[in-house]
Amino acid sequence: MKSTNELLAAMTLEEKAAICAGLNMWMTKGFEQHGIPAIHMYDGTNGIRKTNSDEEMGVTGENIPATCYPTGSAIGSSWNTDLLHELGVALGIEGREMGVELLLGPGINMKRTPLGGRNFEYYSEDPCLSGELGAAFVNGMQSQGVGASVKHFACNNQEFEKIVTSSEVDERTLREIYLSAFERIVKKADPWTIMCSYNLLNGSYTSENEHLLNDILREEWGYDGVVISDWTAVNDRIRGLAAGLDLEMPGPAYYNTKAIVQAVQEGKLDEAVVNKSAARILELVRKTAEPQVEAAASGIDYHELARRAATESIVLLKNDNGILPLDSEKISKMAVIGKFAKQPRIQGAGSARVTPTRVDIPWDEMKSIVGDKVDMVYAEGYPQDDRIDEQMIQESVTLAASADVVVLFVGQPEYVESEMHDLETIELPLHQQKLIKAVTEVQPHCIVVTSSGSALAMHPWVQYVPGVLHSWLTGQGSGRAIADILLGRVNPSGKLSETFPVKLSDNPAHMRIRGENGKLYYREGLFIGYRYYDRKELAPQFAFGHGLSYTTFAYSDLKTVYQDRKMNVTLTVENTGTLFGKEVVQLYVHDEECKWIRPEKELKAFAKIALAPGEKQQVTFVLEERDFAYYNTKYNKWVAETGYFQIAVGSSSRDIRLRERVYCDFGQEPVSFHKFSLVSDWISEPKARAIFENCLAEMNKHVTEQVVLDDVFIGFWGDFPVIKVIQMFGQTWLVDRSPDDVVQEMITEFERQ
């Protein structure tokens, strides 16, 4: 390809406008006369969903087979950045083999509520975890010359009326919770594209939201890649182009090409804006057509990688009396109950649904491991639909009573979790709840294997079963992964990437899930996920970061060194059990002294380490100033305040093993005053207090009621603006000056000093 400037000079206005929309459902426009090839893009959050034709959406039918990896919610529970990078590399290689230049993923929106219909596509409720995993995934994929598209930007947290609903989010919550993971990925991985969402954000469609696309993404974060629309997410194309939306999908959108040309000709749109977007698209084409990377050779065993990814993602939630792993030498008969044992759910529905190359079946994989040592018997347990079949339950109970142990496969039905609609509940279907209760009444040795793409409520049945293994939706290798963990061939190492509440109403967004009249107010603010449960002092069923192992780990020797506004944190972790295992070490920060409301603690770093029995390893984290900061809307910037912080390290958000109290000096916050600055503001700074006291001394010469800054006065009037104090007590003094004049004189004197 010629240089971008040469191409822009050779292209007509119509051609530059046309390249800003796709050719069809899955391709950009190419211009043979200019040597500009088209590029192919397909959905790719947990595998490549390449359609049989570039003219079809292909959501409801089968597509070209590709490796189906664990969904976002599952792989998020791996907490393994190395694995995410490896998956990105594998998808890049497989993408090149399938003629794909751009994959539409990863999905990193925060999980505001467990009812989100696309929650299975997203990693976590926490921006640090999502951002680190997403950056690793993007870096891996783009190392193979295949571009990523980080989505959905931003605040796309529900499916209900999402195209006509405005997510109403205050600026601090927006920055700290809903944009933070995007920012981390932009700065650590420089994704070639970012996909805007369908919804409005604070009254403006994200596809044309200037504050989001230009002020924050372009200007503040310095992003110069392509912003692409979700399919049909464009509202006002001219406004969107001016805000920074480069590529409209799908194409060809002839009407908008004409509208762009007309807007330029009529002087309503600067042609330089069109040139910028066209240039960014041309650079994207260049990256895919002329990759500046040495792509890895093919030869990956994709299915084996899918199995390994699944084993890293599955979470052992409960293991009373060490019921797991099962020992085939000590079991003569095992009852396997539940349709999912032979017809597993491996992924969610909608645009992320992959046509797998093969699927491991849990029953078959368990059978292949135990061989003839164990008599395995099966009952379907429940019907395909929601009806309660008492005969199926009774058949399961009879089978369970005759066995030494029962493994029950349950979960959300496939039709429940899909793009285009939200969940109604996070409880298992009633027929499965009745099945678990009936089985546990006759067989106490019961392990429940759950499948879902989002958090599940497990009360009250969870108290009756000693073992619970949450398998998520872990892709085509999940059957082998489940079998390996149940039978002790693999030690589970997944940790929950989202909080599992006792009941749905415990969730902080429960009162405001869908919104009204096109507006959804995020009034829980910063307090989503574990941040809410910590602040509310509310016990979840299973905490964020929770996950058991077949071995045990001890934490010791926490040390912190603060220097040059960075903190080095080291600790030692030892495998104190008898089996090889992996532990996720989680570091949280608590601000003891901030003037603004902050969560009790926030995840700021994590590491997944592998240890043999008796092995120790030193774990090191480096925290930056930003890790101690909050978004200060007074100054519209991130601020870390000087003071005391707690560094808390543990095995989950509720299992903190070590704490260290540290003092961090980030300098003094710039002090400024305005017309309505409070008494407490003025007396908190020595120079300002002196100015205020001088003002009061002058006022006291002219008034009957004297004002003295003692504890009694401050205790009552501390949160009153100074201007109102002067207005209240200085009426007989204010003859030639107004309260505004007095306060402005005070401000001027402070700034002069």
Residue 562 predicted with pLDDT over 90? yes
Residue 669 CA to residue 662 CA, distance in Å, equals 19
- The proportion of the chain whose per-residue pLDDT surpasses 90, expressed as a percent, equals 93
Q: Quote the distance between the C-alpha of residue 597 and its chain's center.
A: 22
Q: What is the pLDDT of residue 753?
A: 84
Handedness of CA 40, 41, 44, 48 (dihedral sign): negative
Q: Residue 119 and residue 109: Cα distance in Å, rounded?
A: 8
Q: What is the dihedral of CA 503, 505, 507, 513, to 10 degrees?
A: 130
Reduced to 3 states (helix: H, G, I; strand: E, B; else coil), residue 305 is helix
- Sheet containing 405-411: give its strands across: 315-319, 467-470, 446-451, 405-411, 333-337, 375-379
Do the Cβ atoms of 455 and 414 come closer than 8 Å?
Answer: no
CB 171 within 8 A of CB 220: no
Residue 419: what pLDDT?
87
CA distances from 601 to 110, 374, 525, 547, 619 (A): 17, 47, 15, 19, 20
CA 178, 184, 187, 193 torsion-angle sign: negative
Angle between helices 478-486 and 362-370 (to 10 degrees): 40
Measured from the Cβ of residue 667, the count of other Cβ atoms closer than 10 Å reads 10
| Predicted confidence (pLDDT) at residue 291 exceeds the cutoff of 80 | no
Question: Is pLDDT of 414 > 90?
Answer: no
What is each CA distance from 415 to 81, 98, 102, 115, 205, in whole angstroms? 31, 29, 29, 14, 29
pLDDT at 668 over 90: no
Please, where are the H alpha helices in 143-236? 171-173, 180-189, 210
Cα of first residue to Cα of last residue in the chain, in angstroms, is 60
At 536-546, the pLDDT tens digits run 999 999 999 99
Least confident among 39-53, 192-206, 294-308, 345-359: 294-308
| pLDDT at 331 exceeding the cut of 90 | yes
Catalytically active residues, by annotation: 230
C-alpha span between 281 and 228 (Å, rounded): 10
What is the mean pLDDT of the segment spanning 604-628?
98
**Which two tokens mark 626?**
């930003």
pLDDT digits (tens, 9 = 90+) for 233-264: 999 999 999 999 999 999 999 999 999 999 99
The per-residue pLDDT for range 117-129, each reduced to its tens digit, is 999 999 999 999 9
Residue type, 100: V
Q: Is the pLDDT of residue 297 over 80?
A: no
State the DSSP string of 283-296.
HHHHHHHS--S-PP
Rounded distance between C-alpha atoms, residue 457 and residue 436, angstroms: 14
Residue 59 confidence (pLDDT) above 90? no
Question: Tens digits of per-residue pLDDT, 199-245?
Answer: 999 999 999 999 999 999 999 999 999 999 999 999 999 999 999 99
Tokens of 131: 């951002």
Residue 304, CA distances (Å) to 90, 152, 300 in order = 11, 30, 9
pLDDT of residue 462: 98
Contact (Cβ atoms closer than 8 angstroms) between residue 365 and residue 344 = no
Q: State the Cα–Cα distance between residues 141 and 69, nearest whole angstrom.
A: 14
Q: pLDDT tens, 375-399?
A: 999 999 999 999 999 999 999 999 9
Q: Whole-number mean pLDDT of the chain? A: 96
Other Cβ atoms closer than 10 A to 459: 11
* Environment class of 289 (CB within 10 Å of its CB; exposed 0-12, middle 13-18, buried 19+): middle
Question: Is pLDDT at 631 greater than 80 in this prediction?
Answer: yes
Contacts for 344 with CB less than 8 Å, ≥ 6 apart: 359, 360, 361, 362, 409, 451, 478, 479
Cis amide linkage into residue 460, ω under 30° from 0: yes
> What is the Rg, in whole angstroms, of the alpha carbon atoms belonging to the chain?
29
Is the per-residue pLDDT at 572 higher than 80?
yes
d(CA 425, CA 504): 7
Q: What's the confidence (pLDDT) of residue 96?
A: 94
Give residue 666's identity as a one-letter amino acid code.
Answer: F
C-beta of residue 399 within 8 angstroms of C-beta of residue 336: no
pLDDT of residue 595: 84
Cα angle at 189 between 186 and 191, to 5 degrees? 65
List C-alpha distances in Å: 648 to 10, 369, 590, 606, 658.
59, 41, 8, 12, 6
pLDDT in the model for residue 47: 97
In a 3-state reduction of DSSP, which class is residue 574? strand
Rounded CA gap, 229 and 194, in Å?
A: 8
> Is the pLDDT confidence value at 284 over 90?
yes
For residue 60, is pLDDT > 90?
Answer: no
How far is Cα 397 from Cα 299, in angstroms, rounded to an integer? 47
Instruction: List, edge to edge, every strand of the sheet that includes 655-664.
Output: 602-611, 581-591, 643-652, 655-664
- Angle (CA) 415 407 477, round 5°: 60
- pLDDT for residue 292 is more than 80: no
Give the mean pLDDT of 456-462: 97
Is the CB of residue 547 less than 8 Å from the CB of residue 317? yes
Neighbours of 708 (CB within 10 A): 11
Phi and psi torsions of 391, nearest 5°: -65, -40
Q: Are 725 and 682 in contact (CB under 8 A)?
A: no
What pLDDT was estimated at residue 234? 98
Q: What is the pLDDT of residues 487-517, one digit of tens each?
A: 999 999 999 999 999 999 999 998 888 888 9
Give residue 629's region: left, alpha or beta (phi > 0; psi -120 to 50).
beta
CB count in 10 Å sphere of residue 537? 7
Q: Helix, strand, or coil here: 430?
A: helix
Query: Over the stretch 674-714, which tens digit does the pLDDT of each residue have?
Result: 999 999 999 999 999 999 999 999 999 999 999 999 999 99
Instruction: In whole angstroms, give the CA distance from residue 114 to residue 507.
Output: 8
How buried is residue 567: exposed, middle or buried, by Cβ count under 10 Å (0-12/13-18/19+)? Answer: buried
Q: What is the pTM of this model?
A: 0.95
The burial of 747, by beta-carbon neighbours within 10 Å (0-12 exposed, 13-18 middle, 19 or more buried), is given as middle
Token pair listed for 552: 């045990």
- Say which amino acid occupies 623: L
Separation between Cα atoms, residue 90 and residue 84, nearest integer Å: 10
What would the pLDDT profile of 8-57 be if each residue is shown by its tens digit? 999 999 999 999 999 999 999 999 999 999 999 999 999 999 999 999 99
Strand locations in 9-71 (E)? 41-43
Contacts of residue 519, defined as CB under 8 A and 6 or more positions apart, other chains included, come to 165, 166, 168
